[in-house]
């Protein structure tokens, strides 16, 4: 079954290399409407929190327990890979800022 949210996320992330795309979890992508933002998950932090991208390519951390549930962490997918190298543990600090 084809995931239309995955196709949307792939279009948003078209500036990334195949290697970078492989570090994301696009096969499980889904759209979340949070406040006035529509974002697509790209990483599941496995604790109910996510890393997500909006249609403009801005990357957010989504933390359901934080007072600011969606916080911008990178202005573009390429900028996101300046802070993410494939190890989710390194994003833990960002999840709680």
Q: Give every CB contact of residue 86 below 8 A, 6+ residues apart in sequence.
A: 23
pLDDT at position 92 is 85
pLDDT in tens, the chain (97 residues): 789 999 999 999 999 999 999 999 999 999 999 878 899 999 999 888 999 999 999 999 998 776 778 889 999 999 999 999 999 988 988 877 7
Q: How many domains does the chain have?
A: 1
**Residue 90 has what pLDDT?**
85
Residue-number span of the structural domain to which 80 is assigned: 4-95
| pTM confidence score | 0.91
Q: What is the pLDDT of residue 70?
A: 86
Half-sphere exposure of 96 (CA within 13 A, CB side): 5
Q: Which of 23, 32, 72 is nearest to 8 (CA)?
A: 32
């Amino acid at each position: 079954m084809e995931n239309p949210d995955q196709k949307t996320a792939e279009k948003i992330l078209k500036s990334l290399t195949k290697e970078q795309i492989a570090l994301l979890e696009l096969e499980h992508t889904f759209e979340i409407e949070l406040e006035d933002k529509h974002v697509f998950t790209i990483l599941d932090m496995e604790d109910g929190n996510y890393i997500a991208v909006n249609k403009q390519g801005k990357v957010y951390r989504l933390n359901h327990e934080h007072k600011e549930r969606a916080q911008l962490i990178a202005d573009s997918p390429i900028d996101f890979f300046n802070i993410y190298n494939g190890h989710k543990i390194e994003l833990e600090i960002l999840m709680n800022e």
